[in-house]
Structure 1
Protein backbone atom coordinates (compact mmCIF):
# COMPACT_ATOMS: atom_id res chain seq x y z
CA UNK A 1 0.00 0.00 0.00
CA UNK A 2 1.73 3.17 -1.23
CA UNK A 3 -0.68 5.54 0.49
CA UNK A 4 0.24 6.23 4.10
CA UNK A 5 -2.21 8.37 6.14
CA UNK A 6 -0.60 11.36 7.77
CA UNK A 7 -2.15 10.51 11.15
CA UNK A 8 -2.12 7.18 12.97
CA UNK A 9 -5.41 5.46 13.73
CA UNK A 10 -4.31 5.33 17.39
CA UNK A 11 -4.68 9.13 17.52
CA UNK A 12 -8.45 8.90 16.99
CA UNK A 13 -10.57 9.50 20.12
CA UNK A 14 -12.61 6.37 19.33
CA UNK A 15 -12.04 2.75 18.33
CA UNK A 16 -12.30 1.36 14.84
CA UNK A 17 -15.03 -0.92 16.16
CA UNK A 18 -17.13 2.19 16.90
CA UNK A 19 -17.41 2.98 13.17
CA UNK A 20 -20.69 1.87 11.60
CA UNK A 21 -21.85 2.09 7.97
CA UNK A 22 -25.56 2.58 7.39
CA UNK A 23 -26.97 1.88 3.91
CA UNK A 24 -30.02 3.35 2.22
CA UNK A 25 -31.75 2.69 -1.09
CA UNK A 26 -35.23 3.83 -2.07
CA UNK A 27 -37.00 2.89 -5.29
CA UNK A 28 -40.56 2.55 -6.60
CA UNK A 29 -42.06 -0.91 -6.46
CA UNK A 30 -42.96 -0.58 -10.12
CA UNK A 31 -39.97 1.04 -11.85
CA UNK A 32 -40.47 3.85 -14.35
CA UNK A 33 -38.13 5.77 -16.63
CA UNK A 34 -34.64 4.38 -15.82
CA UNK A 35 -35.37 3.09 -12.31
CA UNK A 36 -34.93 -0.53 -13.47
CA UNK A 37 -31.33 0.17 -14.54
CA UNK A 38 -30.16 2.85 -12.08
CA UNK A 39 -29.87 1.81 -8.44
CA UNK A 40 -28.67 4.59 -6.14
CA UNK A 41 -27.24 3.78 -2.70
CA UNK A 42 -26.38 6.21 0.08
CA UNK A 43 -23.94 5.18 2.79
CA UNK A 44 -23.65 7.06 6.08
CA UNK A 45 -20.38 6.76 7.98
CA UNK A 46 -21.18 6.99 11.70
CA UNK A 47 -19.37 6.63 14.98
CA UNK A 48 -21.06 5.20 18.04
CA UNK A 49 -20.10 5.01 21.69
CA UNK A 50 -20.99 2.77 24.57
CA UNK A 51 -24.08 3.45 26.64
CA UNK A 52 -22.08 3.90 29.85
CA UNK A 53 -20.62 7.27 28.84
CA UNK A 54 -20.72 10.10 26.31
CA UNK A 55 -17.16 11.47 26.16
CA UNK A 56 -17.24 11.35 22.36
CA UNK A 57 -20.29 13.59 21.96
CA UNK A 58 -19.66 17.29 21.26
CA UNK A 59 -19.88 19.25 24.55
CA UNK A 60 -22.40 21.68 23.08
CA UNK A 61 -24.33 19.10 21.07
CA UNK A 62 -26.87 16.38 21.85
CA UNK A 63 -25.92 12.83 22.75
CA UNK A 64 -26.06 10.71 19.60
CA UNK A 65 -25.91 7.29 21.28
CA UNK A 66 -29.13 6.06 19.68
CA UNK A 67 -28.36 6.93 16.05
CA UNK A 68 -24.63 7.62 15.96
CA UNK A 69 -22.61 10.73 15.15
CA UNK A 70 -22.13 11.35 11.40
CA UNK A 71 -18.51 11.62 10.29
CA UNK A 72 -18.93 11.18 6.52
CA UNK A 73 -21.03 9.88 3.68
CA UNK A 74 -20.71 8.05 0.36
CA UNK A 75 -22.95 7.44 -2.62
CA UNK A 76 -22.88 4.60 -5.14
CA UNK A 77 -24.73 4.07 -8.40
CA UNK A 78 -25.27 0.54 -9.67
CA UNK A 79 -25.86 0.20 -13.41
CA UNK A 80 -27.79 -3.02 -13.96
CA UNK A 81 -27.35 -5.17 -17.03
CA UNK A 82 -30.07 -7.16 -18.78
CA UNK A 83 -32.74 -4.45 -18.64
CA UNK A 84 -34.73 -2.83 -21.41
CA UNK A 85 -32.78 0.43 -21.02
CA UNK A 86 -29.57 1.37 -22.82
CA UNK A 87 -27.06 1.70 -19.99
CA UNK A 88 -25.52 4.83 -21.48
CA UNK A 89 -28.90 6.58 -21.76
CA UNK A 90 -29.77 5.67 -18.17
CA UNK A 91 -26.43 7.00 -16.93
CA UNK A 92 -26.79 10.19 -18.95
CA UNK A 93 -30.17 10.82 -17.33
CA UNK A 94 -28.52 10.83 -13.89
CA UNK A 95 -25.35 12.97 -14.04
CA UNK A 96 -22.57 13.78 -16.47
CA UNK A 97 -20.04 12.15 -14.15
CA UNK A 98 -21.86 8.81 -14.24
CA UNK A 99 -22.36 9.10 -18.01
CA UNK A 100 -18.62 9.62 -18.51
CA UNK A 101 -17.72 6.52 -16.52
CA UNK A 102 -20.21 4.35 -18.41
CA UNK A 103 -18.98 5.76 -21.74
CA UNK A 104 -15.36 4.95 -20.90
CA UNK A 105 -16.23 1.38 -19.87
CA UNK A 106 -18.58 0.49 -22.72
CA UNK A 107 -18.54 0.25 -26.49
CA UNK A 108 -20.02 3.48 -27.86
CA UNK A 109 -21.21 1.64 -30.97
CA UNK A 110 -23.88 0.04 -28.75
CA UNK A 111 -24.74 3.18 -26.77
CA UNK A 112 -28.44 3.00 -27.64
CA UNK A 113 -28.73 -0.79 -27.36
CA UNK A 114 -30.35 -2.16 -24.17
CA UNK A 115 -27.93 -3.41 -21.51
CA UNK A 116 -24.21 -3.03 -20.87
CA UNK A 117 -21.85 -3.67 -23.78
CA UNK A 118 -18.26 -3.50 -22.59
CA UNK A 119 -15.45 -2.00 -24.61
CA UNK A 120 -12.60 -4.30 -25.72
CA UNK A 121 -10.24 -2.51 -23.32
CA UNK A 122 -12.62 -3.10 -20.40
CA UNK A 123 -13.02 -6.79 -21.28
CA UNK A 124 -9.25 -7.13 -21.41
CA UNK A 125 -8.81 -5.48 -18.00
CA UNK A 126 -11.59 -7.21 -16.02
CA UNK A 127 -11.19 -10.89 -15.19
CA UNK A 128 -14.85 -11.86 -15.70
CA UNK A 129 -16.59 -9.02 -17.61
CA UNK A 130 -20.12 -10.26 -16.99
CA UNK A 131 -22.52 -8.53 -14.60
CA UNK A 132 -23.46 -5.08 -13.35
CA UNK A 133 -21.25 -2.03 -12.92
CA UNK A 134 -20.95 -0.38 -9.48
CA UNK A 135 -19.83 3.25 -9.51
CA UNK A 136 -18.47 4.99 -6.43
CA UNK A 137 -19.96 8.40 -7.16
CA UNK A 138 -19.07 10.43 -4.06
CA UNK A 139 -17.09 9.82 -0.88
CA UNK A 140 -16.58 12.43 1.82
CA UNK A 141 -15.22 12.41 5.37
CA UNK A 142 -15.80 15.44 7.58
CA UNK A 143 -12.70 17.69 7.66
CA UNK A 144 -11.81 17.05 11.32
CA UNK A 145 -11.54 13.29 10.67
CA UNK A 146 -9.47 13.42 7.49
CA UNK A 147 -5.93 12.13 7.32
CA UNK A 148 -6.54 8.91 9.25
CA UNK A 149 -7.63 6.73 6.33
CA UNK A 150 -11.26 6.53 7.39
CA UNK A 151 -12.44 7.15 3.84
CA UNK A 152 -10.41 4.23 2.53
CA UNK A 153 -11.69 1.91 5.25
CA UNK A 154 -15.31 2.93 4.62
CA UNK A 155 -14.95 2.58 0.85
CA UNK A 156 -13.37 -0.87 1.11
CA UNK A 157 -16.14 -2.13 3.37
CA UNK A 158 -18.97 -0.54 1.38
CA UNK A 159 -17.66 -2.00 -1.87
CA UNK A 160 -17.59 -5.45 -0.28
CA UNK A 161 -21.27 -5.12 0.66
CA UNK A 162 -22.53 -3.54 -2.54
CA UNK A 163 -20.50 -5.20 -5.31
CA UNK A 164 -22.12 -8.66 -5.30
CA UNK A 165 -23.14 -9.43 -8.87
CA UNK A 166 -20.93 -6.65 -10.26
CA UNK A 167 -18.01 -7.42 -12.54
CA UNK A 168 -16.28 -4.15 -11.71
CA UNK A 169 -16.36 -1.06 -9.51
CA UNK A 170 -15.46 2.26 -11.12
CA UNK A 171 -14.68 5.75 -9.89
CA UNK A 172 -13.14 9.01 -11.02
CA UNK A 173 -10.90 10.41 -8.27
CA UNK A 174 -11.75 14.07 -7.70
CA UNK A 175 -12.09 16.49 -4.75
CA UNK A 176 -15.63 16.68 -3.35
CA UNK A 177 -15.20 20.11 -1.81
CA UNK A 178 -12.80 23.04 -1.83
CA UNK A 179 -12.47 26.13 -4.01
CA UNK A 180 -10.16 25.43 -6.94
CA UNK A 181 -11.27 28.23 -9.27
CA UNK A 182 -8.32 29.36 -11.38
CA UNK A 183 -5.97 27.08 -9.40
CA UNK A 184 -5.44 24.06 -11.62
CA UNK A 185 -2.17 22.97 -9.93
CA UNK A 186 -3.95 22.76 -6.55
CA UNK A 187 -6.81 20.77 -8.09
CA UNK A 188 -4.38 18.39 -9.80
CA UNK A 189 -2.47 17.86 -6.54
CA UNK A 190 -5.71 17.09 -4.67
CA UNK A 191 -6.83 14.72 -7.42
CA UNK A 192 -3.51 12.85 -7.34
CA UNK A 193 -3.72 12.48 -3.57
CA UNK A 194 -7.27 11.11 -3.76
CA UNK A 195 -6.23 8.67 -6.48
CA UNK A 196 -3.57 7.28 -4.13
CA UNK A 197 -6.23 6.73 -1.46
CA UNK A 198 -8.42 4.76 -3.86
CA UNK A 199 -5.44 2.76 -5.11
CA UNK A 200 -4.95 1.63 -1.51
CA UNK A 201 -8.48 0.16 -1.65
CA UNK A 202 -7.72 -1.82 -4.83
CA UNK A 203 -8.55 0.58 -7.67
CA UNK A 204 -6.21 0.80 -10.65
CA UNK A 205 -6.06 3.47 -13.34
CA UNK A 206 -7.95 2.46 -16.47
CA UNK A 207 -8.59 5.22 -19.02
CA UNK A 208 -9.41 8.95 -19.24
CA UNK A 209 -9.11 9.46 -15.49
CA UNK A 210 -11.37 6.50 -14.65
CA UNK A 211 -10.18 3.87 -12.16
CA UNK A 212 -11.43 0.27 -11.93
CA UNK A 213 -11.52 -2.30 -9.14
CA UNK A 214 -12.02 -5.96 -10.04
CA UNK A 215 -13.91 -7.65 -7.16
CA UNK A 216 -13.07 -11.09 -8.57
CA UNK A 217 -9.39 -10.60 -7.75
CA UNK A 218 -7.63 -11.19 -4.45
CA UNK A 219 -5.98 -7.77 -4.43
CA UNK A 220 -9.02 -5.76 -3.20
CA UNK A 221 -9.55 -8.31 -0.41
CA UNK A 222 -5.90 -7.93 0.63
CA UNK A 223 -6.29 -4.14 0.65
CA UNK A 224 -9.41 -4.42 2.80
CA UNK A 225 -7.58 -6.68 5.26
CA UNK A 226 -4.77 -4.12 5.53
CA UNK A 227 -7.22 -1.35 6.41
CA UNK A 228 -9.05 -3.56 8.89
CA UNK A 229 -5.78 -4.28 10.69
CA UNK A 230 -4.94 -0.60 10.78
CA UNK A 231 -8.20 0.18 12.57
CA UNK A 232 -8.32 -2.96 14.73
CA UNK A 233 -9.21 -2.68 18.38
CA UNK A 234 -6.33 -1.18 20.33
Structure 2
Protein backbone atom coordinates (compact mmCIF):
# COMPACT_ATOMS: atom_id res chain seq x y z
CA UNK A 1 0.00 0.00 0.00
CA UNK A 2 1.56 3.31 -1.08
CA UNK A 3 -0.46 5.42 1.34
CA UNK A 4 -0.68 5.38 5.11
CA UNK A 5 -3.16 7.40 7.12
CA UNK A 6 -1.63 10.57 8.50
CA UNK A 7 -3.94 10.70 11.55
CA UNK A 8 -4.05 7.93 14.18
CA UNK A 9 -7.23 5.91 14.54
CA UNK A 10 -7.25 6.75 18.25
CA UNK A 11 -8.30 10.31 17.39
CA UNK A 12 -11.55 9.09 15.85
CA UNK A 13 -14.49 9.58 18.26
CA UNK A 14 -16.19 6.51 16.76
CA UNK A 15 -15.34 3.16 15.23
CA UNK A 16 -15.05 2.87 11.46
CA UNK A 17 -17.38 -0.11 11.76
CA UNK A 18 -20.20 2.27 12.71
CA UNK A 19 -20.05 3.67 9.17
CA UNK A 20 -22.77 2.72 6.71
CA UNK A 21 -22.96 3.34 2.96
CA UNK A 22 -26.36 4.34 1.59
CA UNK A 23 -26.78 3.90 -2.18
CA UNK A 24 -29.24 5.69 -4.43
CA UNK A 25 -29.81 5.46 -8.16
CA UNK A 26 -32.78 7.19 -9.80
CA UNK A 27 -33.78 6.86 -13.45
CA UNK A 28 -36.89 7.31 -15.60
CA UNK A 29 -38.87 4.20 -16.50
CA UNK A 30 -38.57 5.17 -20.15
CA UNK A 31 -34.96 6.35 -20.74
CA UNK A 32 -34.48 9.76 -22.33
CA UNK A 33 -31.34 11.30 -23.79
CA UNK A 34 -28.49 9.08 -22.55
CA UNK A 35 -30.15 7.66 -19.42
CA UNK A 36 -29.83 4.13 -20.79
CA UNK A 37 -26.06 4.49 -21.13
CA UNK A 38 -25.10 6.56 -18.08
CA UNK A 39 -26.15 5.05 -14.76
CA UNK A 40 -25.40 7.46 -11.90
CA UNK A 41 -25.02 6.21 -8.35
CA UNK A 42 -24.91 8.49 -5.30
CA UNK A 43 -23.50 7.04 -2.10
CA UNK A 44 -23.76 8.69 1.32
CA UNK A 45 -21.13 7.84 3.94
CA UNK A 46 -23.13 7.75 7.15
CA UNK A 47 -22.25 7.31 10.83
CA UNK A 48 -24.91 5.14 12.42
CA UNK A 49 -25.71 4.62 16.10
CA UNK A 50 -24.07 2.13 18.39
CA UNK A 51 -26.13 -0.93 19.20
CA UNK A 52 -27.09 0.67 22.51
CA UNK A 53 -28.78 3.52 20.62
CA UNK A 54 -26.52 6.26 21.98
CA UNK A 55 -26.19 9.29 19.71
CA UNK A 56 -22.78 10.72 18.85
CA UNK A 57 -21.92 13.94 20.64
CA UNK A 58 -23.72 16.34 18.28
CA UNK A 59 -26.22 19.12 18.79
CA UNK A 60 -29.82 18.18 19.70
CA UNK A 61 -30.91 19.00 16.15
CA UNK A 62 -28.28 16.66 14.74
CA UNK A 63 -29.19 14.02 17.31
CA UNK A 64 -32.78 14.16 16.07
CA UNK A 65 -31.67 13.70 12.48
CA UNK A 66 -29.23 10.96 13.45
CA UNK A 67 -32.03 8.92 14.99
CA UNK A 68 -33.61 8.59 11.54
CA UNK A 69 -30.84 8.79 8.97
CA UNK A 70 -27.46 8.79 10.72
CA UNK A 71 -24.91 11.59 10.58
CA UNK A 72 -23.42 12.16 7.13
CA UNK A 73 -19.63 12.05 7.06
CA UNK A 74 -19.28 12.47 3.30
CA UNK A 75 -20.55 11.32 -0.05
CA UNK A 76 -19.42 9.61 -3.23
CA UNK A 77 -20.70 9.51 -6.79
CA UNK A 78 -20.11 6.90 -9.48
CA UNK A 79 -21.14 6.71 -13.13
CA UNK A 80 -21.52 3.37 -14.83
CA UNK A 81 -21.08 3.69 -18.60
CA UNK A 82 -23.09 0.84 -20.08
CA UNK A 83 -21.98 -0.87 -23.23
CA UNK A 84 -24.28 -2.24 -25.94
CA UNK A 85 -27.06 0.32 -25.47
CA UNK A 86 -26.99 1.76 -28.99
CA UNK A 87 -25.65 5.13 -27.79
CA UNK A 88 -22.13 6.32 -28.58
CA UNK A 89 -20.58 6.15 -25.10
CA UNK A 90 -18.20 9.04 -25.73
CA UNK A 91 -21.06 11.29 -26.87
CA UNK A 92 -23.09 10.36 -23.78
CA UNK A 93 -20.17 11.22 -21.48
CA UNK A 94 -19.45 14.46 -23.34
CA UNK A 95 -23.07 15.54 -22.95
CA UNK A 96 -22.93 14.97 -19.18
CA UNK A 97 -19.62 16.56 -18.09
CA UNK A 98 -16.09 17.38 -19.18
CA UNK A 99 -14.66 15.13 -16.47
CA UNK A 100 -16.50 12.07 -17.81
CA UNK A 101 -15.61 12.97 -21.38
CA UNK A 102 -11.90 13.16 -20.53
CA UNK A 103 -11.91 9.69 -18.98
CA UNK A 104 -13.81 8.17 -21.92
CA UNK A 105 -11.48 9.89 -24.39
CA UNK A 106 -8.44 8.38 -22.68
CA UNK A 107 -9.92 4.87 -22.45
CA UNK A 108 -11.50 4.56 -25.90
CA UNK A 109 -10.44 4.69 -29.53
CA UNK A 110 -11.17 8.17 -30.98
CA UNK A 111 -11.76 6.67 -34.42
CA UNK A 112 -14.99 5.14 -33.07
CA UNK A 113 -16.06 8.04 -30.87
CA UNK A 114 -19.45 8.39 -32.58
CA UNK A 115 -20.06 4.65 -33.01
CA UNK A 116 -22.53 2.92 -30.65
CA UNK A 117 -21.04 1.36 -27.54
CA UNK A 118 -17.59 1.37 -26.00
CA UNK A 119 -14.61 0.82 -28.28
CA UNK A 120 -11.48 0.51 -26.18
CA UNK A 121 -8.14 1.98 -27.13
CA UNK A 122 -5.20 -0.33 -27.72
CA UNK A 123 -3.53 0.92 -24.53
CA UNK A 124 -6.66 0.20 -22.49
CA UNK A 125 -6.93 -3.33 -23.86
CA UNK A 126 -3.32 -3.96 -22.89
CA UNK A 127 -3.87 -2.56 -19.38
CA UNK A 128 -7.03 -4.55 -18.53
CA UNK A 129 -7.19 -8.32 -18.14
CA UNK A 130 -10.65 -8.78 -19.70
CA UNK A 131 -11.56 -5.62 -21.68
CA UNK A 132 -15.22 -6.46 -22.26
CA UNK A 133 -18.24 -5.05 -20.45
CA UNK A 134 -19.15 -1.74 -18.85
CA UNK A 135 -16.89 0.96 -17.43
CA UNK A 136 -17.38 2.31 -13.90
CA UNK A 137 -16.14 5.84 -13.24
CA UNK A 138 -15.46 6.93 -9.67
CA UNK A 139 -16.50 10.53 -10.17
CA UNK A 140 -16.35 12.09 -6.69
CA UNK A 141 -15.34 11.04 -3.19
CA UNK A 142 -15.61 13.71 -0.55
CA UNK A 143 -15.37 13.56 3.24
CA UNK A 144 -16.22 16.41 5.55
CA UNK A 145 -12.97 18.19 6.47
CA UNK A 146 -12.86 17.02 10.09
CA UNK A 147 -12.87 13.34 9.08
CA UNK A 148 -10.05 13.47 6.55
CA UNK A 149 -6.66 11.87 7.07
CA UNK A 150 -7.80 8.67 8.82
CA UNK A 151 -8.28 6.59 5.68
CA UNK A 152 -12.08 6.55 5.97
CA UNK A 153 -12.49 7.67 2.36
CA UNK A 154 -10.27 4.83 1.13
CA UNK A 155 -12.21 2.28 3.19
CA UNK A 156 -15.57 3.59 1.93
CA UNK A 157 -14.42 3.79 -1.70
CA UNK A 158 -13.01 0.26 -1.64
CA UNK A 159 -16.31 -1.12 -0.38
CA UNK A 160 -18.41 0.91 -2.82
CA UNK A 161 -16.27 -0.13 -5.79
CA UNK A 162 -16.68 -3.77 -4.79
CA UNK A 163 -20.47 -3.39 -4.63
CA UNK A 164 -20.89 -1.41 -7.84
CA UNK A 165 -18.29 -2.82 -10.24
CA UNK A 166 -19.90 -6.19 -10.98
CA UNK A 167 -20.03 -6.58 -14.77
CA UNK A 168 -17.49 -3.80 -15.34
CA UNK A 169 -14.17 -4.54 -16.98
CA UNK A 170 -12.53 -1.58 -15.24
CA UNK A 171 -13.06 1.25 -12.79
CA UNK A 172 -11.54 4.61 -13.77
CA UNK A 173 -10.89 7.84 -11.90
CA UNK A 174 -8.91 11.06 -12.16
CA UNK A 175 -7.33 11.84 -8.77
CA UNK A 176 -7.94 15.52 -8.03
CA UNK A 177 -9.23 17.63 -5.13
CA UNK A 178 -12.86 18.69 -5.30
CA UNK A 179 -12.67 21.58 -2.83
CA UNK A 180 -13.62 24.93 -4.30
CA UNK A 181 -10.51 26.71 -3.04
CA UNK A 182 -8.46 24.91 -5.67
CA UNK A 183 -9.31 27.04 -8.67
CA UNK A 184 -5.91 27.26 -10.36
CA UNK A 185 -4.78 23.88 -11.69
CA UNK A 186 -1.20 25.17 -12.00
CA UNK A 187 -1.14 26.02 -8.33
CA UNK A 188 1.48 24.17 -6.27
CA UNK A 189 -1.06 23.40 -3.55
CA UNK A 190 -3.38 21.81 -6.11
CA UNK A 191 -0.59 19.61 -7.48
CA UNK A 192 0.42 18.59 -3.96
CA UNK A 193 -3.17 17.70 -3.10
CA UNK A 194 -3.55 15.74 -6.32
CA UNK A 195 -0.41 13.72 -5.53
CA UNK A 196 -1.73 12.83 -2.08
CA UNK A 197 -5.13 11.83 -3.46
CA UNK A 198 -3.48 9.66 -6.12
CA UNK A 199 -1.63 7.82 -3.35
CA UNK A 200 -4.94 7.19 -1.57
CA UNK A 201 -6.50 5.67 -4.67
CA UNK A 202 -3.41 3.56 -5.32
CA UNK A 203 -3.97 2.11 -1.85
CA UNK A 204 -7.47 1.06 -3.00
CA UNK A 205 -6.08 -0.74 -6.06
CA UNK A 206 -6.01 1.94 -8.79
CA UNK A 207 -2.92 2.20 -10.97
CA UNK A 208 -1.71 5.04 -13.25
CA UNK A 209 -2.86 4.68 -16.85
CA UNK A 210 -2.62 7.73 -19.14
CA UNK A 211 -3.01 11.52 -18.97
CA UNK A 212 -3.72 11.55 -15.24
CA UNK A 213 -6.34 8.79 -15.43
CA UNK A 214 -6.08 5.79 -13.11
CA UNK A 215 -7.58 2.33 -13.65
CA UNK A 216 -8.59 -0.49 -11.32
CA UNK A 217 -9.03 -3.97 -12.80
CA UNK A 218 -11.80 -5.92 -10.99
CA UNK A 219 -10.57 -9.17 -12.59
CA UNK A 220 -7.38 -9.05 -10.51
CA UNK A 221 -6.91 -9.72 -6.81
CA UNK A 222 -5.63 -6.17 -6.35
CA UNK A 223 -9.03 -4.77 -5.36
CA UNK A 224 -9.81 -7.50 -2.83
CA UNK A 225 -6.33 -7.35 -1.30
CA UNK A 226 -6.50 -3.56 -0.94
CA UNK A 227 -9.95 -3.75 0.64
CA UNK A 228 -8.72 -6.37 3.11
CA UNK A 229 -5.71 -4.24 4.06
CA UNK A 230 -7.91 -1.25 4.87
CA UNK A 231 -10.24 -3.43 6.91
CA UNK A 232 -7.24 -4.73 8.86
CA UNK A 233 -6.04 -1.16 9.32
CA UNK A 234 -9.29 -0.37 11.09
CA UNK A 235 -9.11 -3.48 13.25
CA UNK A 236 -10.93 -6.23 11.40
Superposed pair shares fold, TM > 0.5? yes
Aligned-residue offset at 1:32 = 1.3
The 2-side partners of 1:51 and 1:17 are apart by 12
Maintained 8 Å contact 2:16/2:152: no
The 2-side partners of 1:68 and 1:86 are apart by 40
Choose which of 219, 222, 232 in structure 2 pairs with 1:216: 219
The 2-side partners of 1:21 and 1:135 are apart by 18
Choose which of 129, 132, 138 in structure 2 pairs with 1:130: 132
Choose which of 201, 206, 211 in structure 2 pairs with 1:203: 206
* Residue matched to 2:19: 19
The answer as to 2:117 corresponding to 1:112 is no
Aligned-residue offset at 1:18 = 0.4
The 2-side partners of 1:230 and 1:49 are apart by 22
Q: Which TM-score applies when normalising by structure 1?
A: 0.96
Maintained 8 Å contact 1:50/1:65: no
Q: Which TM-score applies when normalising by structure 2?
A: 0.95
Aligned-residue offset at 1:9 = 2.1
Q: How does 1:1-234 map to 2 (within 5 A)?
A: 1-50=1-50, 52-63=52-63, 64-182=66-184, 184-232=187-235
User: Over residues 188-219 of structure 1, what are the superposed CA-to-partner deviations in whole Å (9 max), with x where a residue is unaligned?
Assistant: 00000000000000000000000000010001
Aligned-residue offset at 1:97 = 0.3
**More deviation, 50-59/72-81:** 50-59
Cα 1:181–1:17 change in 2 (3 A) is closer
The 2-side partners of 1:181 and 1:142 are apart by 19
Unaligned runs of 5+ in 1: none
**More deviation, 175-184/81-90:** 175-184
Unaligned runs of 5+ in 2: none
Count, aligned residues? 233
The 1-side partners of 2:103 and 2:93 are apart by 9
The 2-side partners of 1:52 and 1:144 are apart by 25
The 2-side partners of 1:39 and 1:117 are apart by 18
Aligned-residue offset at 1:232 = 2.8
Aligned-residue offset at 1:59 = 3.2
Aligned-residue offset at 1:220 = 1.2
SS in 2 for 1:75: strand
The 1-side partners of 2:210 and 2:97 are apart by 19
The 1-side partners of 2:13 and 2:188 are apart by 34
SS in 1 for 2:115: coil
